[in-house]
């Protein structure tokens, strides 16, 4: 009889909640990973670097397991079919995994749990991805928070060492199921290819975090932010470790990690936002212009607004964009161009290495003012002023828009003052009655 540890967005052996509980009893634990075709089949870009990232992380875990005489079984297929297969092969006491809060994952897990339970196998899931989940941080009347500041205050008040301590999985590593090496399917066998570009390092640099408060808003700085996004997305770094270091080194950094928990909680309590609904339903009455040619300019980074173009080109080239610039390009798309925030959300979802439904949706709805923001919709970022404040010497812009001072740099596709007037009118009309 064995236990199964199902890895998903928690791709590490150390400080992993479900793995700890699986290993603890002494029953041998078989680690598995499924390259989920329900997700992969939808990816049009066969050079998708997120698949490559996962593949590299799995390969690293496999190397660690082989040294212990164990091996992960890596499948490429549809999870329900994979489980039917595994259940025929092994006598499984229980499957252990960590919570995934996204609507698709919820449905998938419910279906798998039903298949397993029909055969007498337990499905056990744990909190691992966030510090506080679901209803752990709610108002005194048990309703969810919808504004960040009071949420963050409650989050901080609730925090004790208990929530930050690492799960000491290492002491039970001898309980992995022993078997000879099972090959990890190659990227190519699944129809994907590797791209020759580095991923952000897993190491958290103390100097970056210590100076995070002063540096985080300047996109030209290579080391202004931590680049932990992709590692948090796939669990290659533990959120508890980051939160502990933030407590030690910098409170502003901790605050950003709280934003992450906040958006996860929003998605959990209001799953409709992950399925295309505005958090504030009245914002679905706005009449977007949705001009496809303008959208194309935005995507390609040819709007004629250098800071917007630099951001989009950075995204297209690297899968990353600095947070300040994400806010600027998102505001530009929704407010200046009056293009539905869902178009921008979908584009980011395709391109971002650190794409995360909760944070991405939260960011987009914040930018379009349809989301969890106490401020009214009048905020329209002025790209020129943003540049003066955050990229004064144009270092970031010149890196991505080298032709800036040449004749062939495009003229702005829309004039700022006109766009500002237009969006205020269109929003007021859509929201009339507010």
* Backbone CA torsion sign across 298, 302, 304, 307: positive
Residue 54 is a binding residue for ligand FAD (CB under 6 A): no
323 is catalytic: yes
Choosing from 288, 291, 316, 382, the catalytic residue is: 288
Examine residue 216 and tell whether it contacts ligand FAD (CB under 6 A).
yes
Q: How far apart are CB 431 and ligand FAD at their closest, in Å?
A: 21
189 with 55: CB under 8 angstroms? no
Question: Is 341 annotated as catalytic?
Answer: yes
Interface with ligand FAD, residue 363, by CB under 6 A: yes
Catalytic residue of the set 298, 364, 366, 400: 364
Q: Which of 7, 3, 2 is nearest to 35 (CA)?
A: 7
With CB under 6 A as the contact rule, the residue among 3, 227, 313, 342 that binds ligand FAD is 227
C-beta of 22 vs 208, nearer to ligand FAD: 208
Q: Which of 102, 136, 256, 316 is catalytic?
A: 256
- Under 8 Å between Cβ of 261 and 154: no
Q: Which is nearer to ligand FAD, 77 or 200 (CB)?
A: 200
DSSP assignment of 40-56: HTT---TT-HHHHHHHH
Q: Please tell me the count of residues contacting ligand FAD according to CB under 6 A.
A: 27
Query: To 10 degrees, the CA torsion angle through 218, 223, 229, 231?
Result: 180
| Residue 33, annotated as binding a ligand | no
Which C-beta is closer to ligand FAD: that of 42 or that of 432?
A: 42
Residues 6+ apart with CB under 8 A from 380: 331, 335, 336, 419, 420, 423, 424
Cβ 208 to ligand FAD shortest distance, Å: 8
- Specify the DSSP element, H or E, that contains 423: helix 416-430
Cα R_g (the chain), whole angstroms: 23
Spatial distance between the Cα atoms of 10 and 366, rounded to a whole number of angstroms: 27
CA distance 94 to 120: 9
| Residue 20 near residue 102, CB atoms below 8 Å | no
Pick from 8, 12, 50, 326 the residue near ligand FAD by CB under 6 A: 326
φ/ψ (deg, to 5) at 145: -70, 145
Q: Does 367 bind ligand FAD (CB under 6 A)?
A: yes
- Applying the rule CB under 6 A, the residues between 131 and 190 that interact with ligand FAD are none
* Interacting positions 305-324 with ligand FAD (CB under 6 A): 323
Residues numbered 229-258 forming contacts with ligand FAD, rule: CB under 6 A:
229, 232, 256-257
Annotated binding residues, written as ranges, equal 212, 253, 256-263, 354-356
Residues marked as catalytic: 256, 259, 288, 323, 341, 364
List of residues contacting ligand FAD (CB under 6 A): 216, 225-229, 232, 256-257, 259-260, 263, 323, 326-327, 330, 348, 352, 354-356, 359-360, 362-364, 367
Q: Residue positions in the annotated binding site for FAD?
A: 212, 253, 256-263, 354-356
């Amino acid at each position: 009889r064995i236990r199964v540890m199902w890895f998903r967005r928690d791709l590490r052996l150390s400080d992993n909640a479900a793995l700890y509980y699986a290993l603890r009893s002494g029953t041998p634990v078989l680690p598995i990973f499924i390259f989920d075709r329900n997700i992969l089949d939808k990816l049009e870009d066969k050079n998708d670097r997120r698949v490559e990232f996962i593949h590299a992380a799995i390969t690293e875990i496999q190397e660690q397991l082989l040294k212990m005489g164990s091996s992960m079984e890596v499948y490429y297929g549809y999870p329900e079919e994979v489980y039917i297969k595994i259940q025929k092969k092994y006598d499984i006491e229980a499957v252990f995994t960590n919570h995934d809060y996204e609507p698709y994952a919820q449905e998938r897990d419910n279906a798998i749990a039903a298949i397993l339970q029909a055969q007498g196998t337990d499905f056990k899931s744990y909190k691992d991805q966030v510090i506080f989940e679901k209803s752990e941080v709610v108002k005194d009347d048990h309703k969810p928070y919808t504004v960040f500041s009071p949420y963050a205050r409650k989050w901080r008040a609730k925090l004790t060492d208990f929530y930050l301590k690492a799960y000491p999985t290492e002491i039970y590593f001898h309980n992995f199921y022993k078997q000879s090496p099972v090959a990890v399917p190659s990227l190519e066998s699944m129809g994907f290819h590797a791209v020759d570009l580095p991923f952000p390092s897993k190491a958290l640099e103390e100097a970056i975090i210590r100076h995070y408060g002063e540096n985080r808003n300047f996109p030209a700085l290579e080391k202004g932010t931590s680049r932990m996004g992709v590692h948090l997305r796939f669990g290659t770094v533990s959120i508890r470790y980051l939160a502990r270091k933030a407590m030690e080194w910098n409170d502003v950094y901790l605050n950003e990690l709280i934003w992450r928990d906040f958006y996860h909680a929003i998605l959990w309590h209001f799953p409709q936002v992950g399925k295309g609904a505005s958090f504030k339903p009245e914002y679905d009455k706005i009449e977007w212009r949705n001009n496809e040619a303008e959208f194309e300019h935005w995507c390609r980074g040819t709007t004629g607004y250098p800071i917007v173009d630099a951001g989009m080109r950075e995204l297209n080239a690297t899968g990353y964009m600095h947070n300040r610039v994400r806010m600027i390009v998102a505001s530009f798309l929704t407010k200046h161009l009056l293009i539905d925030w869902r178009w921008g959300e979908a584009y980011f979802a395709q391109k971002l290495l650190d794409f995360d439904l909760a944070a991405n949706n939260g960011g987009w709805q914040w930018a379009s003012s349809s989301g969890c923001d106490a401020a009214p919709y009048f905020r329209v970022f002025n790209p020129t002023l943003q540049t003066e404040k955050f990229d004064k010497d144009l270092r970031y812009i010149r890196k991505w828009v080298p032709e800036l001072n040449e004749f062939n740099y495009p003229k702005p596709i829309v004039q700022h003052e006109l766009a500002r007037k237009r969006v205020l009118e269109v929003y007021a009309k859509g929201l009339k009655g507010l």
